[in-house]
Structure 1
Amino acid sequence: MRPCFGRINARIEELRLLGDVPSGLIRITTSKTAARTILWPVVDKLVTDYPEIQIEISTETRLTDITEDRFDAGIRMGEFVAPDMIAVKIGPPVRLAAVAAPGYFRNRPIPEHPDDLDHHLCLTMRYAPHARPYDWEFEKDGEEIVKKVSGPFIFNDSDMVIEAAKEGHGICMVTEPDVIDSIRDGSLRRVLADWCPPFDGFHLFYSGRRQVSSAMRLLIDRLRYRE
């Protein structure tokens, strides 16, 4: 019974620090990867512990303006968080992964340097309707390379770009958690791994101009990444 008492005491301490019983709706926009790997394990337990809290999760690849769209918070990679937002690190460093179907390389050389991508079909992503397709960034031994790549498809959804890669249409570049299982089972082959170092991972961000509810403060505390 001792672990049970420990959880009760922890809950009492949470309530003492928050000052009231957390309740109300929290609207969050997030990528599918962050929702699946980081957000869901936390909110799954949160709404059980605090039944008065309701969580709305909107998964999308486009870079949403949380103020304009009236979200309480967003979750994105650190580099995509606007400087006027308050950001809280909620996950470990993440690597990108350039992958393609093994069959794609049957009659093509394996790229060993980012410049080799000039001779390959690349499946790109556009993160906002009026933005240009995202450039691919590489780094190795202090050398940084930004590649403008192109190919038969431009997507705004990571699931679609991965599916196109599996069908042999070209190389795509996504976050490692999105394709780690496919790399392990052999349906996708990773290339240029030594050019993809870890970088700042997922952050929860919100406007400092809005009052933060006790429910939101609780969510932030539970999501906060502690190394």
Structure 2
Amino acid sequence: MDPLLSPREFSELRAFVAVAETRSFSRAAERLGVTPSALSQMVRGLEERVRVRLLNRTTRSVALTEAGETLLGRLRPAVAELGAAVGQVRRTNGRPSGTVRVVSFRSAVEQYVEPVLASFHAAYPEVVLDLTVDDTVNDFVAGGFDAAIRLGEVIERDLVAVRLGPELRQIAVASPDYLARRGTPRTPQDLTAHSCIRWRWPGTATPYHWEFWQDDAWFEVAVDGPLIVNSKDFALRAALAGLGIHFAVDQVVRPYLADGRLVPLLEAWSAPFPGLFLCYPRQRQMAPALRAFIDHLRSATRDTA
């Protein structure tokens, strides 16, 4: 038997409680905003459903039967609890609280989330941010997350996407020591004769294909090398150590290019692609806590997006 009440059953119970507490069909109808005849039909429907008379009616009075007294005694705490729950929701409406579950790439957490953690908590102390750092690309909605930070090209079209930063580029980089030993590639095809540090998405077996741009089209180069990793941080450290050529997002390696520890390569074949976005499902009634996180992150990244 289904323990959940149907809308009709709930209306009947609500009607009975109103009549039992006011001892009047007219006053109960006024309280509920229905006509006395509609209220009478709801109570009669409840009596037929439970197969027992709950109210004794006369033209001048309404009295509870023994069964009616028993039912009212059981219903009152439940009705009070429901009223308290609705009241709490109304009181917290507009004051965000609860938990927001977000999954994000590590680089996006470091660049966009970490800088706003303190200000977000100060602005919304009743919101708990449940943050999962994961470089895999899975169905975050099916995983129970409210939102995700993703690269633009992997976001499903039915999601809402809020840009967090500018377009990005991937460039090949290497240490001066490596280039002194192995020479500098002049074209993407030259990479086949070099040691390249390959990277694969966590949870996948195939290394990421290095992509370059020429004549308004992307093309891939099958590179090889002594190392395949599923951590871009480790790949970067390997490149800094002179192990080989790394293919990285320009924003990540920019500090190392500025201080000369890495050298940019093949920039003429590097084109921008959609950057990072905060994405979430379309929804008519968004939880205030999620709305607060979205608006806070959007405001903090407005100057960089």
Q: TM-score, normalised by structure 2?
A: 0.63
Quote the Cα distance in structure 2 between the aligned partners of 1:142 and 1:127. 26
Q: Secondary structure at the match of 2:182?
A: coil
Of the three residues 74, 96, 103, the one matched with 1:22 is: 96
* CA deviation map 1:59-118 (0-9, x unaligned): 232223313432221112111223343322121111212111111111322112111111
1:199 corresponding residue in structure 2: 273
Letter in 2 for 1:138: F
Matched, 1:75 2:149: yes
Greater strand share, structure number: 1
2:134 corresponding residue in structure 1: 60
Matched, 1:50 2:124: yes
Q: Secondary structure at the match of 1:107?
A: helix
Structure possessing the higher relative contact order (Cα contacts under 8 Å, 6 or more residues apart)? 1
The CA deviation at 1:165 is: 0.9
Matched, 1:38 2:112: yes
Quote the Cα distance in structure 2 between the aligned partners of 1:85 and 1:44. 28
Greater helix share, structure number: 2
The CA deviation at 1:134 is: 1.0
Q: Secondary structure at the match of 2:224?
A: coil
The CA deviation at 1:222 is: 2.9
Quote the Cα distance in structure 1 between the aligned partners of 2:159 and 2:296. 19
Letter in 2 for 1:198: P
1:93 corresponding residue in structure 2: 167
Matched, 1:106 2:180: yes
1:29–1:64 CA contact under 8 A, matched in 2? no
Find the structure with the greater CA-based Rg: 2
1:33–1:177 CA contact under 8 A, matched in 2? no
Quote the Cα distance in structure 1 between the aligned partners of 2:114 and 2:263. 28
The CA deviation at 1:143 is: 4.2
1:4 corresponding residue in structure 2: none
Quote the Cα distance in structure 1 between the aligned partners of 2:228 and 2:130. 29
* CA deviation map 1:174-222 (0-9, x unaligned): 1112111111111111111222122211011223379631111122223
The CA deviation at 1:131 is: 4.5
- Which consecutive residues of structure 2, in runs of 5 or more, have no partner in the other structure? 1-91
Q: 1:158 to 1:211 in 2, by over 3 A?
A: farther
Quote the Cα distance in structure 2 between the aligned partners of 1:49 and 1:167. 43
Letter in 2 for 1:24: G
| Superposition CA RMSD, Å | 2.2
Matched, 1:144 2:218: yes
1:61–1:158 CA contact under 8 A, matched in 2? no
Instruction: Give 1:125-144 correspondences, 5 Å limit.
Output: 125-144=199-218
1:78–1:200 CA contact under 8 A, matched in 2? yes
1:62–1:156 CA contact under 8 A, matched in 2? no
Of the three residues 238, 241, 253, the one matched with 1:164 is: 238
